[in-house]
Structure 1
Amino acid sequence: MQDSHSHFANPAAIESYARDVPLRVPGLHDLHRMTMLLLAEEASETAHILVVGAGGGMETKSLAEAQPGWRFVGVDPSPAMLNLARQTVMPFADRVDLLEGTVDRAPDGPFDGATCLLTLHHMNRSEQMHTLRGIHRRLRPGARLVIANHSAPGPDPDCWMTRTAAFALRDRPDWAKAAAAAKTIGQRLTLLTPPEEEDMLREVGFVNIGLFYAAFSFRGWVATANNGNETPTQG
């Protein structure tokens, strides 16, 4: 899956990541707080959390600040992004273990919760399935996973991606420029519809799948690792 993250080998992309991502993702800081709350409903005050796609370190920093008893293992295939994460989480370094690689590099756990934010859309569908299976296998029964990424909501996915691109431009709307940017983004990423995203989670064994975040083309879900006795439901 290393090639899926080749964009994050670009030094310019790494340098601008921490500055640009909050401008491109509506409500990013609130997304991080919602993620913490969703995990904390089921995780103890001393939980061990798996962070898949931990490069940059922003969500790990946010979770560590809010939950001083939580410990973290983060994995990311980009060495440069992991270096940035190490700088970001430096005040919490004694509670954060960052590993270079995909989910396959993560310890077996079991973990008390997991996140995969702004990551899955960089993978093709087969890689997404592999990643979700790897996360599920490492979670204790009943633990929660929180994901968020670009999606392809209907009835006009291109329109939603153009709105996302216009949001990121931060100037007066230039719809031609936004449409061109949206086309480039769409060509680079794997965009699944919300039902396809939920089907993947269900297929690998997650239950109680609920949409909790929607912002233009972005969607976020919370799901629970099946303990073998639960019937899949929504919400």
Structure 2
Amino acid sequence: MDEPPPRAPHEDGHRSAARAFSDPAVVASYVERTRRAVPGLEVLHDLADRLLDEAVPRDGRVLVVGAGGGLELRHFAAHHPDWRLDGVDPSGEMLDLARTTLGAHAERAALHEGVVDDAPEGPFDGATCLLTLHFLPAAERLATLRGIRRRLRPGAPLLTVHHSVPAGPARDAWLARYARYAAAPGADPERIAASAAALGAHLPLLAPEEDEELLRRAGFRTPARFYAALTLQGWLAHADGAP
């Protein structure tokens, strides 16, 4: 959640994210930074757990896209001992961190290095994609959502959370508010302003209505917001089709 690095020329969102999250310092500080930068992180994971639990059977299978770090995987494994968990992430270093984070639950999750197309075919009973899609331009974001949809059984839930900022004059104000929240205690105001500017310049941010339209185009119905905290927004949607 810190200031994102600029992309190299012609570098897609997945490669850019993998490069950023291969830095040993970034990996080592990820858990602490994420807890500071995501309002109510533990509550978010609990909400995701409870919303998945509405539809995922006791022995169901859940796909976690952007699983590096392992925080949501650990929560799901601890609360649902019979769920079968698969996680995919483009950064091998972040998957190593996920194994450490999972601790005694490490054997509960199958981890796959790559993008969603490198995940098992499923079918899965539910999926999450938390703090990930804001790294991807719209075309890659849509392809990722379609890849998730292909792996879900009809009616299965998908939970997404990422930066989603209104277009227009309010955009910069909301980015500044988020940067102030996420800053380390005592951070210099100029550094906070630079972080807000970097978020706007280097992340391919979409407006909430654009994010909802991508979910629909990818084959998900009735996207509904379940989480909102500054610039971070979260949606629950269901794979089109029966039930």
Q: TM-score, normalised by structure 2?
A: 0.90
The answer (yes or no) to whether the contact 1:149–1:218 under 8 Å persists in 2 is yes
CA distance in 2, matches of 1:170, 1:8: 19
| Within-5 A mapping of 1:25-40 | 25-40=38-53
- Is residue 121 from structure 1 mapped to residue 134 from structure 2 by the alignment? yes
Match of 1:108 among 121, 141, 149: 121
Aligned-partner Cα distance in 1 for 2:200–2:238:
29
AA paired with 1:17?
Y
How far did residue 171 of structure 1 move?
3.0
Q: CA deviation at 1:63?
A: 1.3
Q: Distance in 2 between matches of 1:153 and 1:71?
A: 37
Contact 2:15–2:90 (CA<8 Å) still a contact in 1?
no
Give, in whole Å, the separation in 2 of the partners of 1:175 and 1:193.
26
Partner of 2:9: none
CA distance in structure 1 between the partners assigned to 2:47 and 2:242 by the alignment: 27
Preserved CA contact (<8 Å) 2:155 2:242: no
Letter of the structure 2 residue corresponding to residue 68 of structure 1: P
Q: Which amino acid aligns with 1:33?
A: D
For the residue of structure 2 that corresponds to 1:141, the secondary structure is coil
Partners in 1 of 2:242 and 2:210 — Cα distance?
23
Q: SS where residue 27 of structure 2 aligns?
A: helix
How many residues end up aligned between the 2 structures?
Answer: 229
Aligned equivalents of 1:201 and 1:78: distance in 2? 25
* Counterpart code for 1:108: E
Moved over 6 A (4+): none
Unaligned runs of 5+ in 2: 1-11
Answer yes or no: is 1:169 the counterpart of 2:183. yes
Q: Which residue of 1 aligns with 2:7?
A: none
Offset at residue 228 of structure 1 (A):
5.8
Query: Who is 1:226 aligned against?
Result: 240
C-alpha change, 1:3 and 1:188, in structure 2 (3 Å) is same
Match of 2:56 in 1: 43
Cα displacement (A) at 1:177:
3.4
Paired AA for residue 124 in structure 1: P
Q: Is 1:4 the equivalent of 2:16?
A: yes
Moved more, 145-154 or 214-223: 145-154
Q: Does 1:53 align with 2:66?
A: yes
- Decide which of 193, 200, 204 is 1:186's aligned counterpart: 200
Deviation at 1:119, TM superposition (A): 0.4
What residue is the counterpart of 2:211 in the other structure?
A: 197
Matches within 5 A, 1:73-112: 73-112=86-125
Question: Could you list the per-position Cα deviations for residues 37-96 of structure 1 after superposition, in whole angstroms to 9, with x for gaps in the alignment?
Answer: 111111111110000000000011011112121110100010100100011113112320
Deviation at 1:175, TM superposition (A): 4.7
**Whole-Å Cα distance in 2 between the matches of residues 200 and 47 of structure 1?**
26
Moved more, 161-170 or 115-124: 161-170
Q: CA deviation at 1:165?
A: 0.9
Q: Which amino acid aligns with 1:184?
A: A
TM-score (structure 1 length as normaliser): 0.93
Per-residue deviation, 1:153 = 2.6
Any stretches of 5+ residues in structure 1 without a counterpart?
230-235
Equivalent residue, structure 1, for 2:37: 24
How far the C-alpha of 1:170 sits from its partner, in A, is: 4.3
